[in-house]
């Protein structure tokens, strides 16, 4: 379980992914029971808090739908993602995910401030 700064970063990342999507599932447009899905697993520290590594999905399209969900039908999800996101963004994310990164405490603090600022800026416009 994430503790301290990691938990704050996880929460800020999740909220920002949802806010960037307009608080709707990026696959079907539903606005209820939203989840922030990591494209590359959250265990990957290089991309864990990169909002480009997130996509907002309703709970059905995140975990429960056997026809299309990020976890139950990953091949279908990946194929859809390739058409939904531009290939340069996906390629850049792949390179970052395949790199090794270790965050120092001060870097996490800076990252948290950046995520919180973007959250504030988006909420200001709502």
* Coil/strand/helix, residue 65: coil
Where is 108: in which H helix or E strand? helix 105-125
Tens of pLDDT, residues 19-35: 999 999 999 999 999 99
Q: Could you report the per-residue pLDDT of 31-67, keeping only the tens digit for each?
A: 999 999 999 999 999 999 999 999 999 999 999 999 9
Q: What are phi and psi of 98, to 5 degrees?
A: -90, 5
Report the distance separating Cα 106 and Cα 60, nearest Å.
37
Task: Identify the band that residue 1 occupies on the pLDDT scale cut at 50, 70 and 90.
Answer: very low
pTM over 0.75: yes
In the block, residue with structure tokens 């600022």? 117
87 to 18, 28, 50, 78, 92: CA distances (angstroms): 22, 21, 17, 12, 8
Question: In the chain, count of helices (H) and strands (E)?
Answer: 5, 2
pLDDT in tens, 53-109: 999 999 999 999 999 999 999 999 999 999 999 888 999 999 999 999 899 999 999
Both tokens of 94, joined, read 């792949």
């Amino acid at each position: 379980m994430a503790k301290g700064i990691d938990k704050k970063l996880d929460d800020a990342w999740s909220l920002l992914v949802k806010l960037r999507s307009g608080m709707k599932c990026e696959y079907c447009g539903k606005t209820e029971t939203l989840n922030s899905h990591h494209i590359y697993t959250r265990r990957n520290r290089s991309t864990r808090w990169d909002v480009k590594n997130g996509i907002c999905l309703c709970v059905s399209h995140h975990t429960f739908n056997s026809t299309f969900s990020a976890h139950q039908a990953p091949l279908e999800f990946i194929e859809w993602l390739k058409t939904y996101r531009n290939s340069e963004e996906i390629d850049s994310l792949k390179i970052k995910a395949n790199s090794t990164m270790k965050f120092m405490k001060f870097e996490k603090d800076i990252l948290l401030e950046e995520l919180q600022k973007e959250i504030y800026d988006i909420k200001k416009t709502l």
